[in-house]
Structure 1
Amino acid sequence: MEFLHDTVALSRMQFALTAIFHMLWPVLTTGMAIYLVVVEGLWLKTRNPDYYHHARFWAKLYVLNFGIGVASGVPMEFQFGTNWAPFSEAVGDFFGSVLGFEASMAFMLEAGFLGIVLFGWERVPPVVHYIATILVAFGANLSTFWILTANSWLQTPAGGELVDGKFIVSDYFEAIFNPFMVNSVMHMFLATLETSLFVIGGIAAWYILNKRHSAFFAKALKIVLAVAIAVAPLQIYVGHLSGEQVYHHQPAKLAAMEAQWETIPAGQPADWSLVALPNDELEQNDWELKIPNGLGYILELKPILSEPVLGLKEWKPEDRPHLLGLIYYSFRVMVAIGFFFAGLMLWTVLQWVRGKLSDAEIDGQRWLMRAWIFAAPLGYIAVEAGWIVRCVGRQPWTLYGQIRTADAASSLPPENVLVSLCGFAIVYSLLFLCALYFGSRIIRKGPDLNIPVPIFDRATSLPVKHSPDRRPLET
């Protein structure tokens, strides 16, 4: 229980708690916003009322996630001024600016047009409403860009240098386009989209399995599948590119991800540890199961590596990551879920080609629907596992190679941090329970297929009002 008297450890735990909880909500809003753009576009093109009702139904889950994401995200950023003040003072010129861009550009854009998306169906012309939906989706994903830009810069700082404890930026564009940025943004964008697709698909599968609006939700599943055909394999490929970046820029993190204690020289075959029990104290793995030449194929797509893989023993204990079991297995959980998604996508495509997803046949695909329901929460687990690898594996550095985490924390009484940590745990638990309650309530109630589809005057593009009995009135 020594950590209860350690301000740095408690501050790290508090930030981890708020970040892990907050990440649950924007993951779905960023991906689901793209789905809303797709279904509304299909409605405008085909005038099929099913697509309109899909847009109205899924928007309810979107706004629930958006609200909780805002409530949980603001306290997380406040910690940079409370628990991590020395860090903020040192890197605020760049890191603070990027977080400000996220709030002023992305969040304000998303929040500003969300009201039109939710309440403007019969108040603005269809094109205006669709533009608002596109801008909401753009704002949500622009937020991902700025957040990942800031975090990538922490992983591979660029565009300046640390002078007398303060990072002086000489080139903002070099800092923004740091070595990790492009692949990190793409990896997270695909992760949010893939998670949202399998959540939507899992909810649709639940309705189909329970024979509620089967034909209606079969459309949602097919839209999800059409996008997942590209997203699932692309995510695996981009994940491979991200692993290559860690190999070249953060060798200590790679060693922790693979529980690799000894250096593998260049020109030697590199086995991949499938399962292991890392022992940090003895600097060895108590037990492991290896795949011959596996690491070589993962890193360079060939059995013999052209560059060495440095082992953890190359660094002093205080200069290398710890919590190796957490890093090691988080990485494997993330990878396993990515391949599971690809496999489920292939299985579903096969059934689609065989005609088993038709309105007459889809009710009989009970095991397939169960697999989609099982997959619904897995994307969240993969995203959280990926962020654990990304951030815990960066330790003991906050700004990689330049500012240690121990030097970045504020000098606060540990009991004060413990009280705030417990307070966050209680409040976030209540928010989580509320989200489960209201989310399950929306799903149990299901879509309202009696909502009248908006009718617009062709000459003016203005909405035609409806009478109380839902019949259109002349303007």
Structure 2
Amino acid sequence: MFEAFDATVLARIQFAFTVSFHIIFPAFSIGLASYLTVLEALWLWKKDEVYLELFNFWKTIFAVAFGMGVVSGIVMSYQFGTNWSVFSDKAGPVIGPLMGYEVLTAFFLEAGFLGIMLFGMNRVGPRLHFLATAMVALGTLISATWILAANSWMQTPAGFSINEAGQFIPADWSAIIFNPSFPYRLTHMVLAAYLTTAFVVGACGAWHLLRKTAPRRAHTMFSMAMWMAAIVAPIQIFAGDLHGLNTLEHQPAKVMAMEGHYQSHEGGAPLILFGVPNPAEKRIEYAVEIPKLSSLILKHDLNAPLAGLDTIPDELHPPVSIIFWSFRVMVAIGFAMLGIGIWSLWCRYRRTLDTNAWLHRTAVLMGPAGFVAVLSGWITTEVGRQPYTIYGQLLTANSISPIEAPAVGFSLVAFIIVYFLVFGAGTFYILRLMGRLPRDPMPELEEGPLRTAGITPGPAHTKLHGDHHDL
């Protein structure tokens, strides 16, 4: 059945499939852990039970997403031994310790404090519980740091030597960890995680504002999410521009593919907004372009020359069509997020943030946009590295295990079936949880004797109101 397929292609598809499923959960949990920390800090500071109730609401969702992220990540590590054993042998002295540091620092930190965060509020006290929440958030950021260090080293390898067996031997760990692309890629990824979470939280808040089920809680979620969009989206666009300039310096072929520049441009390169790549004829058909704007963006000079893929041997070209479109999807979503952020600022100024139904509907539609942008960005990054696994050093074709295509093909089919069943069910459960936002307390409780006594109605009063409403 799979004899006609190439084992390398199938192994790449398998890893791409599993990493695509995996990355959406860490991208969500990184941002959500920080959001939980902010919610608990606001509760301790303002003594407003709404923040605690939202903390408990999102805490359950975080636990499910965190668990699915751990399970989906385990599978990828096995593929290094089954499908990519040559890569593991050659790059293991560098990649192995970096992955080990991630487990020893980040995962142990997260696992050690996760139980306290989930179940310890009434056992350890609020301040110690807040410390546990902050440690879980810190653990997710440390985890991202080590993973991005390893992946960035594969993009811009540094600080190594090669022994007689062809293995990459660490020579300078500081150069390995802080390789040329690491600061840009770590910043870009963490900001992407925050925006991803913000738009999920914003979509949830907007959904409940439209349904009018819990106006105060929904307003708090939606307002916080829109502040994040308004502040972080422009920072992300700026960070992305810096990342692009760094990529042009160290991986020029990737940028050529992103820009669709098959040919070199001596007097200023155009910015191709849209078009259809034609790899056979090495040109972009039906191109809609702005003259010289690409040179202005990448070189800060309208007339600066830009090299094209015609300066690189054909066998070293990355797949242009995939990179060309994935990059545009990522950029389009980034500017859409910026637009939502600006729109929310205008509505906030007009005092219509809670009443503008069109903004709420748009926010609901934009809920999964962050995940799409993260996946598009990773596709641009990883496919743009081809035909190398370690850029400029180790070809993908020379990294594969001595394995037959049918073995990879059948395991790929099994992964697809199991992943869609297990993680599809988990995702459906998370969506169900998001739809169950507790109702606001009764107005008479908000203004009655409890408020007069300086006590903010808590979960028990919320339950009372729910019971009363059901009756």
The TM-score with structure 1 as length reference comes to 0.90
Deviations 1:48-83 (A, max 9, x none): 010100100011111111011111100011111111
Q: 2:342 aligns with which of 318, 343, 346?
A: 346
Deviations 1:272-330 (A, max 9, x none): 1111111112222233111112202221333122xx422112122211112x2111010
Matches within 5 A, 1:363-378: 364-378=355-369
CA contact (8 A) 2:268 2:303 kept: yes
Partner of 2:299: 300
Instruction: Establish whether residue 116 from structure 1 lines up as the match of residue 107 from structure 2.
Output: no
The CA distance in 2 between the partners of 1:297 and 1:136, in whole Å, is 42
User: In structure 2, what residue type is equivalent to 1:337?
Assistant: I
User: In structure 2, what residue type is equivalent to 1:327?
Assistant: I
Q: 1:333 aligns with which of 329, 332, 348?
A: 329
Secondary structure at 1:161's aligned position in 2? strand
Partner of 1:29: 29
Partner of 1:460: none
Matches within 5 A, 1:26-425: 26-164=26-164, 165-265=166-266, 268-305=267-304, 308-322=305-319, 324-357=320-353, 362=354, 364-425=355-416
CA contact (8 A) 1:264 1:311 kept: yes
CA contact (8 A) 1:199 1:377 kept: yes
The CA distance in 1 between the partners of 2:79 and 2:27, in whole Å, is 21
The CA distance in 2 between the partners of 1:313 and 1:441, in whole Å, is 52
The CA distance in 2 between the partners of 1:2 and 1:297, in whole Å, is 47
The CA distance in 2 between the partners of 1:440 and 1:340, in whole Å, is 23
Deviations 1:68-126 (A, max 9, x none): 11111000111111111111111111111111111221122112211111111111111
- Once the two structures are TM-superposed, the CA of residue 41 in structure 1 deviates from its matched residue by 0.3
The CA distance in 2 between the partners of 1:292 and 1:30, in whole Å, is 40
- Once the two structures are TM-superposed, the CA of residue 445 in structure 1 deviates from its matched residue by 2.3
The CA distance in 2 between the partners of 1:4 and 1:123, in whole Å, is 60
- Once the two structures are TM-superposed, the CA of residue 227 in structure 1 deviates from its matched residue by 2.8
Instruction: Name structure 1 gaps, 5 residues minimum.
Output: 451-465, 471-475
Deviations 1:119-140 (A, max 9, x none): 1111111111000000000001
Deviations 1:173-199 (A, max 9, x none): 011110000010000000000110111
The CA distance in 1 between the partners of 2:432 and 2:255, in whole Å, is 43
Instruction: Name structure 2 gaps, 5 residues minimum.
Output: 442-459, 465-471
Deviations 1:254-274 (A, max 9, x none): 111112111123xx2221111
- Once the two structures are TM-superposed, the CA of residue 447 in structure 1 deviates from its matched residue by 3.0
User: In structure 2, what residue type is equivalent to 1:242?
Assistant: H
- Once the two structures are TM-superposed, the CA of residue 381 in structure 1 deviates from its matched residue by 0.5
- Once the two structures are TM-superposed, the CA of residue 437 in structure 1 deviates from its matched residue by 2.4
CA contact (8 A) 1:4 1:10 kept: no
Q: 1:432 aligns with which of 412, 416, 423?
A: 423
CA contact (8 A) 2:230 2:340 kept: no
The CA distance in 1 between the partners of 2:240 and 2:189, in whole Å, is 10
CA contact (8 A) 2:3 2:406 kept: no
The 1:435/1:79 distance shift into structure 2, 3 A limit, reads same
> Is the deviation greater in 276-285 or in 418-427?
276-285
Matches within 5 A, 1:447-466: 447=438
Deviations 1:231-250 (A, max 9, x none): 11100000000110111111
The CA distance in 2 between the partners of 1:250 and 1:120, in whole Å, is 48
User: In structure 2, what residue type is equivalent to 1:304?
Assistant: N
Deviations 1:1-27 (A, max 9, x none): 988531111100100000001011111
CA contact (8 A) 2:201 2:222 kept: yes
Secondary structure at 1:5's aligned position in 2? coil
> Is the deviation greater in 439-448 or in 87-96?
439-448
Secondary structure at 1:445's aligned position in 2? coil
The CA distance in 2 between the partners of 1:130 and 1:449, in whole Å, is 24
The 1:140/1:224 distance shift into structure 2, 3 A limit, reads same
The CA distance in 2 between the partners of 1:140 and 1:226, in whole Å, is 22
The CA distance in 2 between the partners of 1:209 and 1:52, in whole Å, is 23
The CA distance in 2 between the partners of 1:19 and 1:166, in whole Å, is 25
User: In structure 2, what residue type is equivalent to 1:398?
Assistant: T
**Greater helix fraction, Structure 1 or Structure 2:** 2
The TM-score with structure 2 as length reference comes to 0.91
CA contact (8 A) 1:3 1:10 kept: no
Secondary structure at 2:121's aligned position in 1? coil
CA contact (8 A) 1:261 1:312 kept: yes
The CA distance in 1 between the partners of 2:4 and 2:362, in whole Å, is 42
Partner of 1:459: none
User: In structure 1, what residue type is equivalent to 2:317?
Assistant: R
> Is the deviation greater in 398-407 or in 208-217?
208-217
CA contact (8 A) 1:4 1:418 kept: no
Please provide the CA RMSD for this pair.
1.7
User: In structure 1, what residue type is equivalent to 2:11?
Assistant: S
Instruction: Establish whether residue 5 from structure 1 lines up as the match of residue 2 from structure 2.
Output: no
User: In structure 1, what residue type is equivalent to 2:277?
Assistant: P
Secondary structure at 1:285's aligned position in 2? strand
The CA distance in 2 between the partners of 1:398 and 1:351, in whole Å, is 47
CA contact (8 A) 2:195 2:370 kept: yes
The count of residues paired between Structure 1 and Structure 2 equals 443
The CA distance in 1 between the partners of 2:120 and 2:300, in whole Å, is 52
User: In structure 2, what residue type is equivalent to 1:19?
Assistant: V
User: In structure 1, what residue type is equivalent to 2:56?
Assistant: R
The CA distance in 2 between the partners of 1:119 and 1:447, in whole Å, is 19
Secondary structure at 2:260's aligned position in 1? coil
